[in-house]
Chain A
Amino acid sequence: MKIYVAIDDTDNINEGATGDSANQIIKLIEKNHWGSCQGLTRHQLLLHPDIPYTSHNSSMCFIADIEAGYLELLIEEASGFLERESAPGSDPGLCVAVEEQVKNLASLIHFGYETKNRVITKEEAYELAGKLGVHLSEHGGTGLGVIGALAGVGLRMTNNDGRFQGKLKLKMPGAIISVAEIISSSPTESVQSLTGHVLGENEEVRLGEKLKTVLLNGKRTFLVYRQEGRSEWETCTNAQLKDY
């Protein structure tokens, strides 16, 4: 069965990173042969003075394909992991949604977008999760991480939000590489310009320092741009990707 797993608020100002915690849960699933996981995405939520985020208010989500019989065990083990390993003073939350059992995908997606636009309460998150039949639980502190966890699943389901964690490992910075090679030698599914042009397999890209992908149209997408007056494509900078 296809499930979405999202967590939030596992760090504090000095230690921890929610992406690392999510990766540990991925390892747990794969090490125990409960199933296989797809790339981890980071989703930006609202920046507002009334929200007690550490520094950037983002949540992390991944998709897994697991045997149904392992679902409860996965939730139990992930919960225990968050309770044991989250940073002191953090407010971790966990959301696990079985895609085929979510009663209203549109309202979960709507909730994801809402968390980018207004301050949402924990009670609202629990109420929606209950209505939709989605697992939502808190594992320390105020438990406010449940809001971001539920939002992380909703935003991942949009197929058009978030950056994938980690960097692609291709060639050295400055190397020129074809789109076909990018796709065949990395998890990239599409190479696209910032203005929406999907590059053909024979087009070439000059690699930069940090090679990041984003989730666009349901695909792991490598974004590129052209400097004015130049014909070659270049990989986007961190600054260009910060709004994804």
Chain B
Amino acid sequence: MDYWIKNERGQSQFKGGRQDWVEAADIAGSCPEFLLDHEDELVAEEETSCYNCRFRRWTERTFICVKC
């Protein structure tokens, strides 16, 4: 399944929004680029999650992966 959509700037935006905890953990679990962000910025309980990754850039409704 493709979890990403290109936004108007050509960036890879997560389709699952800000609360798709299962998918975000699933993707991060097999992502070679995953890097845990600073403790203050962690939002997911499962540590290995796109939501906790240093390379996600939050938007109002979801996030952009700067490594995709």
Cβ–Cβ contact A237 & B40, under 8 A: no
Q: Which of these, A13, A165, A237, contacts B45 with CB under 8 Å? A: A237
Nearest-CB residue, chain B, relative to A57: B58
Q: Interface on chain B toward A: helix, strand, loop, or mixed SS? A: loop
Asked if A55 and B41 sit within 8 Å, CB to CB, the answer is yes
Partner of A163, one of B37, B40, B58, B59: B40
Most buried by B among A56, A166, A237: A56
Chain A stretch 43-76: residues in CB contact (< 8 A) with chain B: 47-49, 53-58
Pairwise interchain contact B54-A13, C-beta atoms closer than 8 A = yes
Cα of A70 to Cα of B56 in the assembled complex, Å: 40
A49-B59, A55-B57 in contact; A17/B38 too (CB < 8 A)?
Answer: yes
- Nearest A residue to B8 via CB reads A49
Q: Is residue B22 contacting chain A, with contact meaning CB distance below 8 A?
A: no
A55, B9: Cβ atoms closer than 8 Å: no
- In this assembly, does A201 line the interface, its C-beta being within 8 Å of a C-beta of chain B? no
Question: Which A residues between 11 and 64 are near B, CB-CB below 8 angstroms?
Answer: 13-14, 17, 19-20, 42, 47-49, 53-58
Say whether A238 faces chain B, with CB atoms less than 8 Å apart.
yes
Taking a contact as CB atoms under 8 Å apart, the answer to whether A167 and B39 are in contact is: yes
A48 pairs with B60, CB closer than 8 A = yes
> B58, A55: Cβ atoms under 8 Å?
yes
Q: Known: A13-B66, A49-B59. Is A55-B45 also a contact (CB below 8 A)?
A: no
A19 pairs with B40, CB closer than 8 A: yes
Residue in B40, B55, B59, B66 whose CB lies within 8 Å of A42: B40
CB-CB < 8 A to A47: which residues of B? Answer: 58-60
A230 / chain B contacts, CB cutoff of 8 Å: none
User: 7 tightest CB-CB pairs across the interface, nearest first?
Assistant: A17-B38, A242-B43, A55-B57, A238-B43, A47-B60, A47-B58, A19-B40
Where the two chains meet, the residues of B that have a C-beta atom closer than 8 Å to any C-beta of A are 9, 19, 21, 37-45, 54-60, 66
- Report which A residues bind B (CB closer than 8 A): 13-14, 17, 19-20, 42, 47-49, 53-58, 163, 165-167, 209-210, 237-239, 242
* Sample of 18 more A-B contacts, CB < 8 Å, known A13-B54, A47-B59, A239-B45: A13-B66, A47-B60, A53-B57, A54-B57, A55-B37, A55-B41, A55-B54, A55-B55, A55-B56, A55-B66, A56-B58, A58-B41, A166-B39, A210-B42, A237-B45, A238-B43, A239-B19, A239-B44
